[in-house]
Amino acid sequence: MIRLATGDLSALMTGVSPCGRTNARIKGWMGRADQTAKVKGMFVHPKQIAEVAARHPELKRVRLVVDREAEQDTMTLLAECAPADAALATAIAATLQSITKLKGSVKLMTPGTLPNDGKLIADERKP
């Protein structure tokens, strides 16, 4: 049984299956059409990440990375700010948890170093 929701992305696989079958196959879940992500069964919306950034004016740009490690969903908030310190990271993590109701880690980065790849769920603050 295959269950995909509205907004979920998948793709057809080309070629023959390793078992020799030639019918159409799908790659499985590959992400979402919008920037909403599901983490531990709960949706995280870009506006929530924007709210985290708004509560910490020292942040320049932020991006939420959702990943899967050891069969568990994880989320890491990448945040550009200067200067970076452990107390600020702890405060941002507490804000992230209060807004999303999910625990996540925070990685503070030097302004201008936030990676730009298509795998990241992003909501960037306007300058």
> Are 58 and 16 within one domain?
no
Q: How confident is the model at residue 108 (pLDDT cuts 50, 70, 90)?
A: very high
> Is there a domain that residue 104 lies in?
yes
What does the alpha-carbon distance between residue 35 and residue 45 come to, in Å, rounded to a whole number?
Answer: 7
Check pLDDT > 80 for residue 10. Answer: no
> Residue 59: is it exposed, middle or buried by C-beta count within 10 angstroms (0-12/13-18/19+)?
buried
> Are 66 and 113 within one domain?
yes
> Are 72 and 111 within one domain?
yes
> Are 45 and 57 within one domain?
yes
> What pLDDT digit, counting tens, does each position of 53-98 carry?
999 999 989 999 888 899 999 999 999 998 888 999 999 999 999 9
Total domains present in the chain? 2
According to the model, what pLDDT value does residue 94 have?
97
Hunting for tokens 């992305």 — which residue is that?
A: 9
> Are 2 and 47 within one domain?
no
> Is there a domain that residue 127 lies in?
no
> Are 62 and 102 within one domain?
yes
According to the model, what pLDDT value does residue 3 have?
64
Phi/psi of residue 96, each to 5°?
-60, -45
> Are 67 and 106 within one domain?
yes
| Predicted TM-score (pTM) of this structure | 0.67
> Are 55 and 85 within one domain?
yes
C-alpha gyration radius of the chain: 18
User: What is the share, in percent, of the chain residues with pLDDT greater than 70?
Assistant: 83
> What is the extent of the structural domain holding 15?
1-33
